[in-house]
Structure formats: C-alpha cells, structure tokens
C-alpha cells in the first residue's frame, strides 16, 4: 500500500523551514559574491589552472551525501574560482554587470520549472514571453509580429535562416534542398554563427558570401550589390542578407536602410542580427543606428548582452506571424493536442527545441522594475562610456585608436593597439608585425595579473585590444585601468623579438 505521507527523508529536504534555510544561505552567498564583484579591488579572475580547482573543491561525484551547509561552502569556493563577469573590470565579452531583479527572475524561473512548449504547462510564462516579444517588436516598429526566446544569439540567427530557407524553398521540409544553391550575404565582420547555421542548414560554408567592410567595420553596400550580381551570374540563388547591428569586434552597425533597399529589389529575406546592438532601439539618441530595421523580416536581440540580464535572454522576432510554425512544426500529436482549448498558444511547434526553458521572466521583471526610461538609461550610459574610453585612448601617447564609431553615430567597442617603447625606431613593416604579436603577449600578462579581463581580436588584419563597454557601472578610473595595466606590463618589456615572428599561429 502506498504511504499516506512522504518518506521522512524527503519531508526533511523539502519542509518549508528547510527550503527557507537553504534559500537564505544561497541568498547570503549570492549577495556577498555580488558585493565583492562590484568592488574594484576584487580581482576579476584568479586564473585557476584545472589542478587548483580540483585541489580546492572535491569535484568527484562518487562520494557519500554532503550536508547542505558543507555544500554551500563548496559552492562558495567554486564561485571564488570563477570569473566575476559582473565586475566593471570585466570587459572581455559583450556582457557584464548584473541586475538583482533579473537574477531573481532566473531563480524564480527555476522554482516554477515550466517548459515552454504547451500553454497548459506554462500558461503565465507563455503570456509573459508574448509580452516581452511584443514590446521588443514595438521598439523595432512592428505590431503583430511574433517570436520566441532561444538559447542564444546563434540559435536566433539559425532560426532566421531557417525561415529564409523556407520562403526560398517552400517544399524544403519534405524534399530537402534538392540541389538548390542558396546563398546568404553578410558582412565580413558578422558573427560566425551565420556561417555555422549555413553548415547546419545544408547551404555549406560556400553558401555564405562575406561582403567586405568599410573602415568602421560596416558592410559596404556597393560591395553587397556587386556580390548579388556575381552570385546570380554564377547560377546560384540569393536567399537572404544578414545585416549586423553591433558587430562583435567593432561594435559596428551596418547601414540597414540601404541594405533593405537592395534586399527588397532583389527579393531577399532581410535579417538583422542585433544580438549585441539591438538594445540601442530603446534609446532616443541611439535608435537611429538601426534605421531601416523596421523593413527587415526578422531580428535577433539578446537582452543578456546590453541590458544586464543574466544569460541567456535571446529572442528571434519575425515580422510575419505564422512563419516560425510553418518552418518547424512536424505535428507531434502526443504533445501538441490539436483538440485542446488554445492550440495557437502552444509555442513548441514554432521552435527547433522540444523542452524550452523560460527566459522571458527575468527580462519582464527587470523591465518592469526599471521602466522604459531605466532601460534606455542603461543603453545610453554604455554608449557614453564607450565614447569616454575612446577619448582616454586618444589622450594617451602610446595608444592608437583603430576605428572611431563616434564618427558614425557611436558604438560600444573600442579597438586599439599599444606602441611599446621597445618598438620605437623599427621599420614600419617590422613594427606592425611586432604590434600584432605584442597585443597577444601583453594581454596574456594583463590577464594573469587578474585585476581585469579584456579581450583582443583581429582588426584590419592586426591583433588589437577590443574593449567592450558592457558595464554601465564602470567609472573613468576603471576604464583607464585597462591602459594602465597594459603600460605596466609593456613599458619596460623588450618586444622587439616579436618583429621576427613570421605569422601568428592559426587556430
Ligand atoms: N555572441 C558572443 C560574442 C562573444 C564575444 O565576441 O565576446
């Protein structure tokens, strides 16, 4: 006979007092972690080698049960050995900072543990997702659009490409590509996920034409036009163009309006990859960077990049409702019951996933807590800090800014190189080679000091520092610290031997 009450050990794990106790311990841990992350004196990373992590935390999962108090200590150690991405000294990726309300959204999401396939199992969250998508669509200038949260920008771009393929080949779901030679145009500075999606979708890497960029990292429209002509002349079928709003290296915004003119004339699907930069739509002063986005067919937007929401919070929005379903539905009757009350509220068949986590709640809570003005303020502050960073770079004698997006409306990335004293007097070609290699050497030294983490990337063929203005809480002192650290490691270092390094290692 089944027991009337739960077994004693399960009761003790989930009693209200025990749940509160565990949550309180975790809340204390989280609050202290974030306090320390926000302190500029706290190292961003301890750069632990794997051996150090193994030494400090018993990672193996083959032992006896560990009491929760002891487990919290182990969690604290793991957090100490992690990178403090919320710190203003973390400018390594396109996200930084934190929002306590949004973090709570993530936590409450886990408490409810819904899955976003059917309305019956995620009723409130389905409507929350709809609202967030509708609000983002409104920022683009769309009404009646639809969309979904996806696991990240790469997946949002993949879904856009799926829809473009569906429009180009309406029978692709049943018949496959059937030898079609579909082509996607995107800028040479676009995110690599476009190429990867082309592989997944059967277009192949040769199905992507990378259009050259201008000196600000934006797609050259004349080159795009030329590329479309060339592809047609080769007997291939232009399918879509992916314009980038906020490229990963330059933070550049492609001229979407001019690209839309050509896309319309040529019958191409226009997707805007605004994973990084679409948040500019929320700012009265920066919205113009995406002028023309309202003419696109679809748009990717990651709230976890510019809006301080924890990963991941990426959406794909499509102007024409119904397409996501058309592309992805395969009629899994066991789950999506056609005779239920509200089949049109089941989002599962719009997705390439089955189980799908709730990512909308944290965005909704953060947006509610800040209001439209508060969201715009985050964006404005990041753009302003980026301009300040470029002023600081320009003002420092041994640093050289490689591109200034402020000439063309702004951007959140700052790409620069350092001219070490040891390289003075080298002939230009050898000097360039040494600067290229020295960026890597200096960045490694800065990284190992641990005070901050910033990245580097190829810029016009030379490795350069790429600072991302990703944390709206940064101060001028924290921006200047990056240059101070580079000078501290590079001023007295003899970098001349790097001029003899023939090529940089290929990945
Ligand atoms: N979409 C992730 C980009 C990562 C980076 O460039 O830092």
427-469 tens-digit pLDDT: 999 999 999 999 999 999 999 999 999 999 999 999 999 999 9
| Residue to mutate (ligand 1; options 248, 279, 455, 469; most atoms within 8 A of CB) | 248
Q: Which atom of ligand 1 is nearest to the CA of 249?
A: 6
Q: Reply yes or no on whether the pLDDT at 373 is more than 60.
A: yes
> What's the pLDDT at 501?
77
Q: Which atom of ligand 1 is nearest to the CA of 153?
A: 1
Q: Reply yes or no on whether the pLDDT at 374 is more than 70.
A: yes
Say how many Å lie between the CA of residue 120 and the centre of ligand 1. Answer: 36
**Cβ burial 18-29 (10 Å sphere, 16+ → b, else e):** eeeebeebeeee
> What's the pLDDT at 14?
85
User: Residue 506: pLDDT band by 50, 70, 90 thresholds?
Assistant: very low
Say how many Å lie between the CA of residue 276 and the centre of ligand 1. Answer: 8
Helices (H), 396-465: 428-449
- Answer yes or no: are the C-beta atoms of 449 and 489 closer than 8 Å: yes
Residue bearing tokens 């940089």: 504
Q: Reply yes or no on whether the pLDDT at 12 is more than 70.
A: no
Tokens for 478, please give them: 């924290």
Say how many Å lie between the CA of residue 93 and the centre of ligand 1. Answer: 6
202-233 tens-digit pLDDT: 999 999 999 999 999 999 999 999 999 999 99
Say how many Å lie between the CA of residue 20 and the centre of ligand 1. Answer: 37
Angle at 318 (CA atoms; ends 312, 319), nearest 5 degrees: 145
The whole-model pTM stands at 0.96
> What's the pLDDT at 8?
62
> What's the pLDDT at 10?
56
User: Residue 342: pLDDT band by 50, 70, 90 thresholds?
Assistant: confident
Q: Reply yes or no on whether the pLDDT at 3 is more than 70.
A: no
> What's the pLDDT at 7?
63
Q: Reply yes or no on whether the pLDDT at 29 is more than 80.
A: yes
Q: Crossing angle of helices 221-233/256-266, nearest 10°?
A: 20
Q: Which atom of ligand 1 is nearest to the CA of 193?
A: 1
Tokens for 413, please give them: 């990335």
Q: Reply yes or no on whether the pLDDT at 115 is more than 50.
A: yes
Identify which of 239, 241, 238 has the alpha carbon closest to the alpha carbon of residue 256: 241
Tell me what the pLDDT averaged over the chain comes to: 95
149-184 tens-digit pLDDT: 999 999 999 999 999 999 999 999 999 999 999 999
User: Residue 6: pLDDT band by 50, 70, 90 thresholds?
Assistant: low
Edge-to-edge strands of the sheet including 146-150? Answer: 146-150, 314-318, 298-302, 269-274, 237-244, 182-187, 208-211
Measure the CA–CA gap between 335 and 70, rounded to whole angstroms.
41
383-413 tens-digit pLDDT: 999 999 999 999 999 999 999 999 999 999 9
Residue nearest to atom 6 of ligand 1 (CA): 248
> What's the pLDDT at 154?
98
Overall average pLDDT of the 348-377 stretch: 97
> What's the pLDDT at 507?
42
Question: Which residues line ligand 1 at a C-beta cut-off of 6 Å?
Answer: 93-94, 153, 191, 248, 275
- Answer yes or no: are the C-beta atoms of 97 and 317 closer than 8 Å: no
Say how many Å lie between the CA of residue 180 and the centre of ligand 1. Answer: 32
34-81 tens-digit pLDDT: 999 999 999 999 999 999 999 999 999 998 999 989 999 999 999 999
> What's the pLDDT at 298?
98
Tokens for 294, please give them: 């309202």
Say how many Å lie between the CA of residue 237 and the centre of ligand 1. Answer: 30
């Amino acid at each position: 006979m089944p027991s009337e009450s739960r077994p004693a050990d399960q009761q003790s794990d989930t009693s209200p007092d025990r749940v509160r106790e565990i949550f309180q311990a975790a809340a204390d841990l989280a609050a202290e972690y974030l306090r320390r992350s926000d302190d500029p004196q706290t190292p961003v990373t301890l750069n632990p080698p794997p051996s150090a992590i193994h030494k400090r935390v018993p990672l193996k999962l083959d032992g006896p049960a560990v009491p929760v108090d002891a487990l919290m200590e182990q969690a604290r150690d793991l957090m100490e050995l992690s990178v403090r991405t919320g710190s203003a000294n973390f400018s390594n990726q396109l996200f930084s900072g934190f929002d306590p309300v949004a973090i709570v959204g993530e936590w409450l999401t886990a408490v409810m543990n819904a899955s976003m396939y059917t309305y019956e199992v995620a009723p409130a969250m389905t409507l929350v997702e709809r609202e967030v998508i509708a609000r983002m669509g409104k920022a683009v200038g769309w009404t009646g659009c639809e969309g979904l949260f996806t696991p990240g920008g790469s997946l949002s771009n993949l879904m856009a490409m799926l829809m473009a393929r569906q429009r180009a080949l309406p029978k692709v779901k049943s018949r496959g590509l059937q030898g079609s030679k579909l082509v996607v145009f995107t800028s040479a500075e676009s995110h690599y996920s476009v190429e990867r999606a082309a592989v997944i979708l059967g277009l192949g890497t040769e199905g992507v034409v990378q259009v050259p960029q201008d000196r600000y990292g934006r797609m050259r429209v004349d080159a795009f036009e030329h590329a479309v002509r060339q592809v047609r002349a080769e007997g291939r079928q232009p399918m879509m163009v992916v314009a980038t709003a906020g490229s990963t290296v330059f933070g550049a915004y492609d001229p979407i309006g001019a690209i839309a003119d050509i896309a319309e004339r040529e019958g191409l699907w226009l997707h805007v990859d605004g994973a990084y930069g679409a948040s500019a739509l929320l700012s009265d002063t920066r919205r113009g960077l995406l002028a023309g986005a309202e003419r696109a067919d679809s748009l990717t937007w990651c709230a976890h990049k510019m809006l301080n929401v924890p990963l991941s919070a990426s959406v794909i929005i499509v102007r024409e409702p119904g397409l996501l379903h058309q592309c992805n539905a395969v009629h899994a009757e066991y789950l999506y019951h056609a005779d239920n009350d509200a089949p049109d509220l089941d989002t599962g068949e719009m997705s390439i996933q089955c189980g799908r986590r709730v990512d909308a709640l944290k965005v909704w809570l953060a947006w509610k807590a800040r209001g439209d003005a508060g969201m715009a303020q985050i964006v404005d502050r990041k753009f302003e800090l980026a301009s300040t960073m470029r002023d600081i770079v320009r003002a420092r004698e041994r640093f050289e800014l490689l591109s200034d997006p402020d000439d063309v409306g702004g951007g959140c990335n700052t790409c620069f190189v350092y001219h070490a004293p040891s390289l003075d007097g080298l002939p230009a070609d050898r000097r360039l080679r040494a600067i290229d290699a020295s960026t890597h050497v200096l960045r490694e030294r800065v990284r190992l000091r641990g005070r901050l983490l910033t990245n580097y990337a190829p810029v016009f063929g030379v490795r350069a520092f790429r600072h991302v203005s990703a944390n709206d809480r940064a101060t001028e002192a924290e921006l200047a610290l990056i240059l101070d650290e580079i000078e501290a490691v590079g001023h007295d270092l003899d970098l001349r031997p790097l001029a003899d390094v023939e090529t940089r290692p290929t990945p």
